[in-house]
Structure 1
Amino acid sequence: MLKIRQILSVFLLFSLSLLLVVGCQIYRGDQVLNEKPIVIGYSTWVGWWPWAIAEEEGLFTANKVNVQLKWFDGYLESLQALAAGQLDGNCQTLNDTIAFAADAVNGEVVVLVNDNSAGNDKIIVSEEINKVEDLRGKKVAVEEGVVDDFLLALALEKHGMSREDVEIVPLETGAAVLSFVTGKVDAVGAFAPFWLTAFQRSGSKELVSSKDFPGAIADLLVVSQKFIDEQPQQVQAIVKTWFDIREFMQKNPKRANEILAKRANVTVEDLKKFEAGVKFFTLEDNLEAFSPGNNMKHMPYAAQKIGDFLLKFKFTEKLPDINKIFNNHFVKALAGKQS
């Protein structure tokens, strides 16, 4: 009888252990995934559309990570969602990470640079404006405090002017473009694909673009510190998935473009108009971006510059600890495996 009880006890312990494991993980063939999806937000930017490839082609699953991508029609909403702890991670710029990180309930940490804008952010102007100095006293529609407002500030500063020299019309990017097209403002700051619409105004032209300021607009994957603390292996898997996406894009350009165009709600032909304006980052580019330096290609330096801009124009009252918002561990680990 004692032996039977011992066998039953072992069986019960095994069963309970199995239930605990199944309660935390999903088995798919020989692959193990986290049961509760990791929720990553993304929105309409050329460098972030490729995440849809991971979903369509099963690349998250291949890396044994259960990710739910959450699409935001409004970029600002995605920033607010991560700061409020409603997401595990989000695709956002360095500019906006600096603006939101200090008040984020679970912290915000940059773990990956997807790309740098290399022309896909633009200041587009009406026919009579031919140089930056011509913007003096003109109405410029921008989404206040975010990337194209920063681009405008850099352009004005380069030509001895400041934001106070123009009349800022604060509008969400889509509304800003509409205001420009209908002639209510003289210039607009817009990113892809919105600037396609801006150019529908007769005589409109590009005055400045992010190509003129290399490194100024870094597009990132930002995750919560809580996510890093609790599931570092899953963070690593997501970072690896990004580079698998890039490999897929290079090997399967036609299929990749179909997925990107569908996600962006543009034609494949229009998609090709954005290619030159984005510089996707390699692992080596990532390592350089995370490192200290004395120009905008190095994120710690860029973060200080951006922080000065945000404080000067009162877009934020406090800045995050710059030393705590960058974590290069995951790209370094991946680079080490590939070396």
Structure 2
Amino acid sequence: MPPRPADQAPLRGGRGSGRVRVWLLCSAVAALASAGVVKAWRGDGALTLPIGPVPVDRYFALAERDGLPGAHDLRLQLDPQPGTQEVVAAYLREEHWLVPISTADALTICSLQARRCPTLILVLSESAGADQLMARPWIHSVQDLRGKRVAVGRSAVGRDLLMGALEREGIDPAQVRLVTMPMAAMPASLRRGEVDAAVLAPPYSNAVQRLGLARSLEDSRSSPGEVLKVLAVDPARLQQARPQLVRLLRVWQAAHAAAAAEPRQARTWMGKAIGLNATGFQRAEAGLLYHPLVQQPPMLKPEGLLAWNLQLVASRYHSRGWVEEGVPRPAVDASLVQEALQTPGAQPSLTSSAAPK
């Protein structure tokens, strides 16, 4: 699909914005794609997992550092990506089939590649303030965004948060200029005055706050349970790799337990790779909820949080023209978590399981 003439456009809720969605993701894939080789399964019982430069994914890196995969009889190789949308692109181009992504991105994958509509097996985190609509210091409210340029990433998460804020204030989305860019570029764009506001998540929101470039106008606390990050699997690979995936869930739990045992040391190490010190990493996690394995089975039930989230996201994105009618929804499989819990000692508490630190 050819690129649009410009990278700025009014944020609209109508059917035309569906073409914007498809173009944004297709252009991301085209920019990143080459003839991909499926990395997530190496044929020797090992898993490869792409991770982005975000706090949630750093727990997998901590697990690798501490040798936790080996302790759980798992061979795990991490594939660092420059951003979370590159993780989505790696799945779309079939370079990976196991990815940590948002439920919004999972639904978008289903709209673009129905045959690879992923199965969700774990809730990695719940955003409870981590995703923020931030604006230059002299912009005091959402009402002041009329006529302003607002940066969003290629994922639908940022656009959805912005759209919700505008709708609650009765603002016509066409009055806002949408500028699409990688989240990593947003702090510099704010500093240069190229945009007036941006939808950011850690660690980029931390940088903006530290430099005094912007203030928070609204965050994901206004929509509890609506922004989830999950572990997603290509259903064609699920059964073949099931034993390794169950071990990966145990490794994830063990990594959180290790961080809880030595929080300062863990935060210092995990934060270093994404430009944060221990205090900065703690602040970055203040808007995130982590749910231990023992809490996850009810969340993964047909009437649980994840199913509710997918229904809400699908309904809202369809009404805004971001996905077409009849697009399949990701399946949810609670059986891997249940199997992981059958192992003695698989239920330690996480660094944050009920409320953010």
Report the TM-score when normalising by structure 1.
0.81
Q: Match of 1:87, SS?
A: coil
Aligned length, in residue pairs: 303
Q: Name the structure 1 match of 2:221.
A: 211
Match of 1:124 among 122, 128, 134: 134
Amino acid at match of 1:334: A
Identity of aligned residues (%): 21
- Contact 2:264 2:278 survives alignment (8 Å): no
Q: Name the structure 2 match of 1:99.
A: 108
User: In structure 2, do the counterparts of structure 1 residues 117 and 162 end up closer, same or farther at CA, with 3 Å as the change threshold?
Assistant: farther
Match of 1:329 among 321, 328, 335: 335
Q: Match of 2:140, SS?
A: coil
Q: Any residues of structure 2 matched to 1:154-193 within 5 Å, and which?
A: 154-161=164-171, 163-193=173-203
User: In structure 2, do the counterparts of structure 1 residues 41 and 101 end up closer, same or farther at CA, with 3 Å as the change threshold?
Assistant: farther
Q: Which runs of 5+ in 2 are unaligned?
A: 1-41, 348-357
Counterparts of 1:255 and 1:310 in 2: how far apart (Å)?
Answer: 41
Counterparts of 1:108 and 1:260 in 2: how far apart (Å)?
Answer: 28
Match of 1:290 among 292, 300, 303: 300
Q: What are the superposed Cα offsets for residues 103-139 of structure 1, whole Å, 9 maximum, x if unpaired?
A: 0664411111111112221111123322222223322
Q: Match of 1:49, SS?
A: helix
Q: What are the superposed Cα offsets for residues 204-239 of structure 1, whole Å, 9 maximum, x if unpaired?
A: 311011122211211111122122121211111111
Q: Name the structure 2 match of 1:299.
A: 306
Match of 2:276 among 266, 270, 275: 266
User: In structure 2, do the counterparts of structure 1 residues 49 and 225 end up closer, same or farther at CA, with 3 Å as the change threshold?
Assistant: same
Q: Name the structure 1 match of 2:119.
A: 109
Q: Match of 1:199, SS?
A: helix
Over aligned residues, Cα RMSD in angstroms?
Answer: 2.5
Counterparts of 1:272 and 1:91 in 2: how far apart (Å)?
Answer: 21
User: In structure 2, do the counterparts of structure 1 residues 260 and 144 end up closer, same or farther at CA, with 3 Å as the change threshold?
Assistant: same
- Contact 1:143 1:173 survives alignment (8 Å): yes
Q: Name the structure 2 match of 1:74.
A: 83
- Contact 2:300 2:306 survives alignment (8 Å): yes
Residue 52 (structure 1) shift: 0.5
Counterparts of 2:80 and 2:326 in 1: how far apart (Å)?
Answer: 27
User: In structure 2, do the counterparts of structure 1 residues 161 and 258 end up closer, same or farther at CA, with 3 Å as the change threshold?
Assistant: same
Q: Any residues of structure 2 matched to 1:53-68 within 5 Å, and which?
A: 53-68=62-77
- Contact 1:120 1:278 survives alignment (8 Å): yes
Amino acid at match of 2:106: T
User: In structure 2, do the counterparts of structure 1 residues 261 and 326 end up closer, same or farther at CA, with 3 Å as the change threshold?
Assistant: same
Counterparts of 2:72 and 2:211 in 1: how far apart (Å)?
Answer: 46
- Contact 1:85 1:104 survives alignment (8 Å): no
